[in-house]
Structure 1
Amino acid sequence: MVQTNTMEGSLFEPTLYIIKGMCILDNDGNRILAKYYDKNVLPTAKEQKAFEKNLFNKTHRANAEIIMLEGLTCVYKSNVDLFFYVMGSSHENELILQSVLNALYESVSILLRRNVEKRVLLDNLDAVMLAFDEICDGGVILDSDPGSVVSRAALRADDVPLAEQTVAQVLQSAKEQLKWSLLK
């Protein structure tokens, strides 16, 4: 029996964990919103911010849509004063990553009523965070249709803000969400 290195074997096995991270940076390269799903790639906030600065420096003047950086395939899109990024492993299919990027960008665009600017995004950050969660969970792509992402994010955004809820309301909401996720 031939043994393979488990590290090598895991690199090319099919997996649902496609997305390594998604982020939105401003036109100075500062983080507005970021989620990283693989703790082995960029485990600390310091490493993440250093990566984001490097990523921004390599892409903010470029007119390409894809870059390989530090072992990651990164697809990106800019608009006015924002940069949207989706990262996957170096062997990941760029079309899948581009599909997730388009879902992210279009969802944010719809949520912000086509006014995709830093100020408007910050005013609606809760809805944008919900869109992030509706698109990807733990690196697994959940949805790439902006219409359905927005409908679910908007539905959840209409709920009472978490800070204004009692502990009982938060627990009840969590029970309801768990119940609906199990029923699907």
Structure 2
Amino acid sequence: MESCPSVKNILLLDSEGKRVAVKYYTDDWPTLSAKLAFEKSVFVKTQKATAGAEAEIVMFDGHIVVYKFIQDLHFFVTGGEEENELILASVLQGFTDAVDIILRNNVDKRTALENLDLILLCLDEIVDGGIVLETEGSVIAEKVSAHGIEGATSLAEQTIVQALTTAREHLTKSLLM
């Protein structure tokens, strides 16, 4: 009997290996110190790699880790040693695509921290309890943006709402002067 594709964790670390956003779905790392040790060792092992636009795959500590670097952020998806690498890679690609859309092609640590709530929502839309729900970046970003602003259902509508709000503020200022 085959099981659903599953993920053990998704990590977003900065260029120094420090946490930006992480989510663990199994008890393979039961304590905070075990999680931090895993993150550090994965970071050190992959630090010398030249992961660019394409995802890299490494077997590490009995787990398959798929990773990708964008600017000063390091994205990791971990699965069991029996997990399909292509599924893990598609989870990683969906996550990076969604983050890219949400951060409006400005993927760096500062912008990620400013929009941490949206990145955490991305993680929730991609995986629930270790089970992969969605891997299409645009669909993930669309769902997250619907949560991000009341009344707007897409990133395009958010931009329109923001423009109208700014125009209203300028009009109000000009009428009061």
Instruction: State the TM-score bracket (shorter-chain normalisation).
Output: 0.7 to 0.9
1:44 shift after superposition: 1.1
In 2, distance between residues paired with 1:14 and 1:28?
38
Q: Distance in 2 between matches of 1:88 and 1:27?
A: 22
Q: Show the 5 A alignment for 1:87-166.
A: 87-159=78-150
Paired position in structure 1 for 2:70: 79
Q: Write the deviation string for residues 80-126 of structure 1: whole angstroms up to 9, x where unpaired.
A: 11000000001111000000000000000000000000000000000
How many positions carry a matched residue from both structures? 147
Unaligned runs of 5+ in 2: 151-177
Residue 74 of structure 1 aligns with an amino acid whose one-letter code is V
Is residue 49 of structure 1 aligned with residue 49 of structure 2?
no
- Identity value in percent: 41
Q: How does 1:3-82 map to 2 (within 5 A)?
A: 13-16=1-4, 18-39=6-27, 41-63=28-50, 65-82=56-73
TM-score (normalised: structure 2) = 0.80
SS in structure 1 of the partner of residue 49 of structure 2: coil
Query: C-alpha distance in 2, partners of 1:33/1:113?
Result: 18
Q: Give a deviation string over 1:147-169, Cα, whole Å, max 9, x none.
A: 1111110111114xxxxxxxxxx
Q: Report if aligned partners of 2:102, 2:118 keep a CA contact under 8 Å in 1.
A: yes
Give the TM-score, by structure 1 length.
0.77
Structure 2: how far apart are the matches of 1:44 and 1:17? 24
Is there any run of 5+ residues in structure 1 with no aligned partner, and where?
1-12, 160-184
